[in-house]
Amino acid sequence: MTALKDLFSSLLDFIQRLGAMGSFLMRILRVLPGSLRRFDMHLRQLWFIGAMSLTIIIISGLFVGLVLGLQFYSALNQFGASGALGTLTALSLYRELSPVVAALLFSGRAGTAITAEIGLMRSTQQIEAMEMMAVDPIRHVVAPRFLAATIALPLLCVVFSALAIMGAHWSAVLWLGLDNGTYWSSMVGSVDLVDDLLAGVFKALVFGVLVALIAAYQGYHAKPTGEGVAYATTRTVIHSAIAILAFDFVLTAFMM
Amino acid sequence: MAANRSFEIGTGLFIVLGFAALLFLATQTTNMAGFRAADTYELKARFTNIGQLKERAPVKLAGVTIGTVRSISLDGTALDAVVHVDVDSQFSELPEDSSLSILTSGLLGDQFLAIRPGGSPEFLVDGDEFLLTESSLQLEELIGKFMVGGDGGGERGN
């Protein structure tokens, strides 16, 4: 009986948190146009959230591409279909791997940074100080980070794809001896700009909103202690990962 | 001020890199550079079997893509497949007695439509139908024919 009660109350907690996040998103969106007047704030966040994440995205993209080239080559070669390697690599990257892997890496690199930063501002009472001075912390702290993450993730996703295509070219064409022309032309033949490439970029945009919202929410509502900030940072990674994978399923089901 | 400037340059470079990657992927790995004619006219053709032909498959003349398959449907009374194709308007001088056949690129590749031009002085215009068509080659039928023997037509067993 108590187990049932616990389950019910945790379900209620979950729904309550969902509602709180929704209203948090509304608050961000309401102040977003006004905060654009301080454009240098946004630029600084785009540098910190986007450009500083490039290193991990580039390295991971390259290695994912190298592995895809090796794996697909050995699998396809069994059927004598190694000519389809380019198509398979590009489609799996654009439609699934790039948006999802880039978003997961992004939540680990930038999401945690957002949570820790806002959480620390909360625990050192900087947020309260801002409110005392009638400066809206949502507008000056949260909104620039939210917008920067939303812009940065689609760009990072595309960079990831480009590097992975290069990586697969390296392993499949330069090492394993797949024909260079076959590799590129099999992509051009069956990859669509809108249905495959831009659909993946749209996914990344949605994931960017999710990660930014979860990270900012967790930081803003962190318990103002060292432990509370640590907890919030952990939750950012876990919640982002679950949200990304769940939304990926929903988006894929809709866009197929 | 100097620090601010380097921030802005770095951020600008990040955005430029992102769009450069998008441009690279769009032009090098997708069909964007493929067939996209602004102005087309529509022709149709009937086939007894279209095989694996799909919508948006290329329509080629002498190996050059001049159009795409717009739609494929089944004629319920004549019981054959009706294929509508869009052809680029700058190739408006296809002879009336041209034939259309479904071919396969490579042994197991995608199927496409090939136009074999005829010799008529009259040209096909919007809405016209190809009268001479050649259905797709069915590998199973070919193997079946091969197995029961060529000229005997299955009589060889006696």
Task: State whether ipTM is beyond 0.90.
Answer: no
**Pairing mode of beta strands B64-75, B80-88:** antiparallel
pLDDT band, residue B33 (cuts 50/70/90): low
**Residue B152 pLDDT:** 47
Q: Which residue of B has its CA nearest to A48?
A: B11
C-beta separation of B121 from B97 below 8 A: no
Backbone φ, ψ for residue B129 (5° rounding)? -120, 140
Q: Do A47 and B11 touch (CB under 8 A)?
A: yes
Q: Which of A69, A20, A19, A96 is nearest to A178 (CA)?
A: A69
Query: Is A112 a domain residue?
Result: yes
Q: Which residues of B touch A94 (CB under 8 A)?
A: 25
Q: How many folded domains does chain A comprise?
A: 1
Whether the pLDDT of residue B153 is over 90: the answer is no
User: Could you tell me how many CB contacts below 8 A there are between chain A and chain B?
Assistant: 79
pLDDT tens-place string over residues A208-252: 999 999 999 999 999 998 899 999 999 999 999 999 999 999 999
**Quick check: is A24 in a domain?**
no
Those residues of chain A that have pLDDT short of 50 are none
* pLDDT mean over B44-58: 83
Q: Report the residue from A154, A155, A197 with minimal CB separation from B25.
A: A197
Q: How confident is the model at residue B2 (pLDDT cuts 50, 70, 90)?
A: low
Look at residue B158 in the predicted model and tell me its pLDDT. 43
Contact A91, A97 (CB under 8 A): no
Query: B120 vs chain A: nearest CA distance in angstroms?
Result: 33
Residue A9 located in a structural domain: no
**CB under 8 Å to A225, separation ≥6 — which residues?**
A123
Say if A201 is an interface residue toward chain B (CB within 8 Å): yes
> Do A50 and B14 count as a contact with CB atoms less than 8 A apart?
yes
* B-chain residues near A192 (CB < 8 A): 30-31
Which tokens belong to A16?
Answer: 């309550």
Contact B100, B132 (CB under 8 A): yes
d(CA B70, CA B92): 17
DSSP state of B76: T
Host H or E run for residue A236: helix A226-255
Residue A34 lies in a domain: no
Residue B37: the pLDDT is 62
A16 domain residue, yes or no: no
Residues B74-113: tens digit of each pLDDT: 888 888 889 888 888 888 888 888 888 888 876 666 788 8
B6 interfacial to chain A (CB closer than 8 Å): no
Domain that holds residue A137: 40-255
In 3D, which of A55, A58, A50, A54 has the Cα closest to residue A164? A58
Instruction: Report the distance separating Cα A158 and Cα B17, nearest Å.
Output: 9
Single-letter code of the amino acid located at B82: V
Q: How many CA atoms lie within 13 A of B11 on its CB side?
A: 21
Q: Is residue A26 part of a domain?
A: no
A208 close contact with B: CB closer than 8 A: no
- Could you tell me the residue ranges of all domains in chain B? 2-32, 37-139
C-beta neighbour count of A44 within 10 angstroms: 17
Q: Would A117 be classed as within a structural domain?
A: yes
B4 interfacial to chain A (CB closer than 8 Å): yes
Going by C-alpha positions, the residue among A171, A87, A75 that lies closest to residue B109 is A87
Instruction: Classify strands B132-134 and B99-104 as parallel, antiparallel or unpaired.
Output: parallel
| Joined tokens for residue A113 | 């940074």
Between residues 89 and 148 of chain A, which touch chain B (CB distance below 8 Å)?
A: 90, 94
Q: Name the pTM for this structure.
A: 0.77
Are A85 and A186 in contact, with CB atoms under 8 Å apart?
yes
Cβ neighbours around A185 below 10 Å, total:
14
Residue A3 lies in a domain: no
Per DSSP, the three-state class of A238 is: helix
Please write the tens of the pLDDT for every residue from A90-110. 999 999 999 999 999 999 999
The burial of A71, by beta-carbon neighbours within 10 Å (0-12 exposed, 13-18 middle, 19 or more buried), is given as: middle
